[in-house]
């Protein structure tokens, strides 16, 4: 730690150096105002300054302080003042003085200088960390809002069907211990196709923050660019999307990838044909029987997008019975977890099934709220550590 001292009592210089030259402190003492300012200007890595408020007189001392502030606006300045001149501190404190000590006649204050200087430095560091944390929160929030801007607010379905979706980012802790809602890498959408069918999409980019967000933005842009006739063949759609994403370093850099489930709902034949690229399979809840089952064959789930340009994909198909609900989701929902007796326990399919059955007689908004609430409560207040998206389709 580098300390520069401007002092008015030559006889105390040796004592000052004795009390302050401890640990890894590097102390320089000047007893002339001009020499003090000249020394201050010779380097830019001073950690803290110690000055008096009567050196060589009150007005000159404030001028020295003011000049020092111009030279070094960031490091803290600690002042030492005689007991009878405490009132003079008001000018210094208004001008940004960090701390002060009272110079008692017994010189007991010398024992306090080390602690006062250390506290001033720690205070400045804490303030810098708070500002950095606030800046980080602002930047993360801006990226998060960018990502959320591509999540649709209103989803429409053909007669006889209803749909509802929801997305929540994960949380993390940053400097200062403040929770921050992270920019996320989840995505869902429902697109009306020219032939009356509906394309349903749920995606999840690996990781968090800017990279995951930009990966999803890239995916969203590619989807919007595809000609409408390519939407119908789900395997072809996934293959072409993977081909394009594999050439985008924003996705594949550092082992990144995107899982995606893309399907087409046919409201006439009440079928849902989909292709999965590393994404969880759909869940079907038959409200008449109460059964909840995973649809399709996990062996036909293809590789995540952006991993290998030559990956092959196949489509699967399920028929939706009357009075049923289909759940498409990202892995943030089942992977919500807590520690129970030292064991890592996840919300899992059991938790999802339980909520689906509990909310069977309630409308979709209640079901959606129940899934997010129950999975969050399962974490014992720690919050889900991964982005979570849920898309629910109901056939009346």
166 and 280 in a single domain? The answer is yes
Same domain, 124 and 180: no
Count CB neighbours of 81 within 10 A. 22
Let me know if residue 139 belongs to a domain: no
C-alpha 104/C-alpha 81 separation (Å) is 9
Count of beta carbons in the 10 Å neighbourhood of residue 97: 20
Query: Radius of gyration of the chain from Cα atoms?
Result: 32
* Higher pLDDT among residues 345 and 146, named by residue: 345
In a domain, 370, yes or no: yes
What the block records as the tokens of 205 is 């980019």
No. of helices (H) and no. of strands (E), the chain: 10, 19
> How far is residue 51's CA from residue 60's CA, in Å, rounded to a whole number?
12
Please state whether beta strands 292-294 and 186-192 pair in parallel, antiparallel, or not at all (unpaired): unpaired
Q: What does each C-alpha distance from 305 to 90, 188, 265, 302 come to in angstroms? A: 64, 16, 22, 9
Q: Tell the residue number behind the tokens 């509802």, with chain if given.
A: 164
Q: 379 lies in which domain range?
A: 150-395
If one compares 24 and 171, the residue with the highest pLDDT of the two is: 24
Residues 202 and 83 in one domain: no
Residue 142 lies in a domain: no
Q: For residue 148, what pLDDT is reported?
A: 73
Q: What average pLDDT does the chain have?
A: 89
Q: Are residues 274 and 386 in the same domain?
A: yes
Q: What percent of the chain has pLDDT over 90?
A: 60
Residues 122 and 154 in one domain: no
Do 244 and 288 share a structural domain?
A: yes
Q: Which tokens hold the place of 54?
A: 């009567």
Across the range 353-369, mean pLDDT stands at: 98
In a domain, 347, yes or no: yes
- Are residue 224 and residue 275 in the same domain, yes or no? yes
- What's the half-sphere exposure (Cβ side, CA atoms, 13 Å) at 395? 19
Task: Summarize pLDDT for 121-172 with one digit per residue, the tens.
Answer: 899 888 888 888 787 777 767 766 776 777 887 788 999 999 999 998 886 5
- How confident is the model over 297-319, as a mean pLDDT? 96
- Tell me if 137 is assigned to some domain: no
Q: 136, 114, 59: which is closest to 92 by C-alpha?
A: 59
Among the ranges 75-84, 138-147, 202-211, which has the highest mean pLDDT value? 75-84
- The confidence score (pLDDT) of residue 175 equals 42
In a domain, 133, yes or no: no
Mean pLDDT of 87-98: 90
The answer on pLDDT for 297 being more than 80 is yes
Mean pLDDT, to the nearest integer, of 328-339?
94
Q: Residue 183: its pLDDT value, please?
A: 61
**Together in a domain, 198 and 254:** yes
Decide: 197 and 232 in contact? Cβ < 8 Å.
yes
38 with 156, same domain?
A: no
In a domain, 143, yes or no: no
Q: Please, are residues 125 and 133 in contact by the beta-carbon 8 Å criterion?
A: no
264 plus 308 within the same structural domain: yes
Percent of the chain with pLDDT over 70: 95
Closest CA to 276 of 305, 254, 247, 250: 305
Has residue 356 got a pLDDT over 70? yes
pLDDT digits (tens, 9 = 90+) for 39-61: 999 999 999 999 999 877 889 99
pLDDT score of 179: 56
Provide the 8-state DSSP code for 281.
P
Residue 141 in any domain: the answer is no
Domain count, the chain: 2
pTM for the structure as a whole: 0.69
Give yes or no: residues 159 and 302 share one domain.
Answer: yes
Which DSSP letter does residue 307 get?
A: S
């Amino acid at each position: 730690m580098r300390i520069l001292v401007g002092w008015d009592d030559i006889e105390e210089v040796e004592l000052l150096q004795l009390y302050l030259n401890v640990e890894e402190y590097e102390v320089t003492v000047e007893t002339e105002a001009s020499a003090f300012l000249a020394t201050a200007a010779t380097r830019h890595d001073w950690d803290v300054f110690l000055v008096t408020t009567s050196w060589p007189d009150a007005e000159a001392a404030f001028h020295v302080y003011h000049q020092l502030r111009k030279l070094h606006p960031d490091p803290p300045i600690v002042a030492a003042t005689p007991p009878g001149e405490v009132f003079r501190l008001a000018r210094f404190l208004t001008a940004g003085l960090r701390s002060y000590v009272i110079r008692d006649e017994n010189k007991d204050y010398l024992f306090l200088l080390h602690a006062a200087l250390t506290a001033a430095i720690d205070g400045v560091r804490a303030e810098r960390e708070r500002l950095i944390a606030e800046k980080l929160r602002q930047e993360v929030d801006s990226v998060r809002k960018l990502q959320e801007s591509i999540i649709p607010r209103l989803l429409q379905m053909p007669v006889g069907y209803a749909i509802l979706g929801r997305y929540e980012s994960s949380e993390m802790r940053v400097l200062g211990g403040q929770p921050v809602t992270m920019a996320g890498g989840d995505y869902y959408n429902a697109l009306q196709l020219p032939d009356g069918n509906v394309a349903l999409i749920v995606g999840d980019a690996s990781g968090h923050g800017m990279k995951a967000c930009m990966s999803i933005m890239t995916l969203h842009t590619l989807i919007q660019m595809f000609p409408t006739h390519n939407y119908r063949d789900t395997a072809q759609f996934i293959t072409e999307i993977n081909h394009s994403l594999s050439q985008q370093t924003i996705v594949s850099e550092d082992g990144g990838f995107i899982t995606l489930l893309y399907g087409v709902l046919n409201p006439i034949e009440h079928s849902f044909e989909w292709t999965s690229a590393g994404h969880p399979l759909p869940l079907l809840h038959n409200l008449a029987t109460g059964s909840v089952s995973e649809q399709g064959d996990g062996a036909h789930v293809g590789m995540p997008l952006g991993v290998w340009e030559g990956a092959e994909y196949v489509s699967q198909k399920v028929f939706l019975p009357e009075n049923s609900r289909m759940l498409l989701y990202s892995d943030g929902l089942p992977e919500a977890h807590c520690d129970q007796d030292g064991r890592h326990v996840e919300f899992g399919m059991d938790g999802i099934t339980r909520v689906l059955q509990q909310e069977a007689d309630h409308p979709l908004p209640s079901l959606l709220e129940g899934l997010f609430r129950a999975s969050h409560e399962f974490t014992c207040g720690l919050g889900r550590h991964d982005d979570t998206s849920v898309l629910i389709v109901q056939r009346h």
